[in-house]
Amino acid sequence: KAGVTQTPRYLIKTRGQQVTLSCSPISGHRSVSWYQQTPGQGLQFLFEYFSETQRNKGNFPGRFSGRQFSNSRSEMNVSTLELGDSALYLCASSPTEGLWGNSPLHFGNGTRLTVT
């Protein structure tokens, strides 16, 4: 079974630009979440999607947004990039168990975003 796939693996952008990251979950997983990982802050929750609906959002500015498609694939968008947005962005999926499921998350290998 293929794991969580994230594209692209590396991205270099300039301050003020916007970027879109893509995630394909494990087949059959309908819950997709996004995390930001930096050396100083560790892994921080961005948001999660289930059945094309955002059901939870972390403490990030509105420049960070996402969406989920009917095939469970998800995209994350960051507008007006800042230097501090440089990070590893990780996507995770989990089995369909509803809002209060307790299965582990399975992560992709991330997109390394560098903002110059």
Q: How many helices (H) and strands (E) does the chain have?
A: 0, 11
Residue 74 has which token pair? 């998800």
Of the candidates 51, 80, 101, 116, which one interacts with another protein according to CB under 8 A? 101
**Region of 14-22, 45-53, 65-73, 75-83 interacting with another protein (CB under 8 A):** 45-53
Indicate which single residue of 11, 22, 45, 79 sits in contact with another protein (rule: CB under 8 A): 45
On whether the CB atoms of residues 77 and 66 are closer than 8 A, the answer is: yes
Residue found under tokens 């507008």: 79
74, 54 Cβ separation under 8 angstroms: no
Nearer to another protein, 14 or 100 (CB): 100
Residue 56 has a CB neighbour count (10 Å cut-off) of 12
Name the residue nearer to another protein (CB basis): 14 or 102.
102
Which residues are at the interface with another protein (CB under 8 A)? 4, 6, 31-33, 42-43, 45, 48, 50, 55-56, 58, 90, 92, 94, 97-110
